[in-house]
Structure 1
Amino acid sequence: MNRSDTPEFRTAAVQQVTDGGRSIPAVARSSEMSAKTLANWALCARGSRRPRRRPESQRANWKRG
């Protein structure tokens, strides 16, 4: 997990979009992150999409390679 990917950071970034009325690209730029990542977080927060997690065996292989 990146330093900026803490649950608090995610919540704050999504709230800027949902409650603050800012656009995803604007929040992503100011947070120095990908707009696609923020869009995925916003979808998950709305319940429109479940967070994806790789199976443990795939995560172990990914970290090695």
Structure 2
Amino acid sequence: MNRLTALPLFGFLTVFGVLYVAGAFEGVPPADRVGGFVLGVPAVLALVAGFSFAKGYRGDDEEST
């Protein structure tokens, strides 16, 4: 897994974990928690895919940092 995919997924998992530990999901049915997680992962991957496509479409093969 490359950095472009791993960092957003790690961020999503971190935020989801912090919300869980902080009690933000207290009173939320387990099915809704799982549904939010299951829909969140493809949403993050869709953002990564869109960014990758746009980066490839521009022709920026080299990072300009």
TM-score by length of 1: 0.30
Highest relative contact order (Cα 8 Å, sep 6+), 1 or 2?
A: 2
Q: Which has the larger radius of gyration?
A: 2
- TM-score, length basis structure 2: 0.30
Greater helix share, structure number: 2
